[in-house]
Structure 1
Amino acid sequence: MKYTTSTDADMEVLLSLVGRHLGNIGAEGMIDLYTDEPIEGPEPQQAFLEMRQEIQAQHPGKGDYLMGAPLDFASQTGLRRFTLLGHRTIGCEAYAGGKLVFTSIENERIVWLDIASSDAASLEEAALAAGARSLRRLPD
């Protein structure tokens, strides 16, 4: 199922719920810490810069560790980063049991979920109730 929103704030509402769900199912996440457009807003900018600095400090030298940087859905920090950055970078993915269950669509405010229809419907309902008024499910 693909979802889109007309605002970053609405996408953040959805991703906060999706991130919790991914943590509950034990998904492993990764994010590419590159963007095609500048990240707008102080909180997302700060999260992006902090994550890049942490990765670069952990891996000085050769190799591009900014591609596929790990995301921890079980931590508050990881959830916040996913919420703020999951749709703003060139790529973000999550796997559960070796199966791709979440990905963002590069350069667009679109995310794709491969989870049970009932879980997706619950997340969609919760996001709308939490104020994500522009949330729309796209045809497959």
Structure 2
Amino acid sequence: MDYLREGDTLIVTKLDRLARNVAHLRQLVAMLKDKDVSLRVLDLGVDTRRPTGELILNMMGAVAQFERQMMLERQREGIAKAKSDGKYKGRVPTALRQAQRAREMAAEGLQRTEIARRLGVSERSVYRAVRVTM
């Protein structure tokens, strides 16, 4: 964005690669307009050099945000159903399972970076596991 100059055109392949939501899209479009930079979205065939392009961009942004919100809602419902059926338990906490072994290795004098490498966990996880006993 910092390299865009007056008269340039910012080209993106898909709208969702540019903005997170409608408010963010409006903010970006306003910033581009202030710099006198146009925007083209290839998969939609939208070009903000024309008023209709700007209108379509705002409408498509709103639709994309709506689709995202609906997808997240369905995801939450699916997770809640799976949990109620006892099929969803979440990610297995791998570092917690190895906390005792990490403490034993630390007691043997191994450095935390070496413990993390051997156990296949992050160094931060080793620090947490070791700190629990202190």
TM-score after normalising by structure 2 = 0.24
Of Structure 1 and Structure 2, the greater helix share is in: 2
Instruction: Report which structure shows greater RCO (CA 8 Å, sep ≥6).
Output: 1
TM-score after normalising by structure 1 = 0.23
Who wins on radius of gyration, i.e. which is larger?
Answer: 2
Of Structure 1 and Structure 2, the greater strand share is in: 1
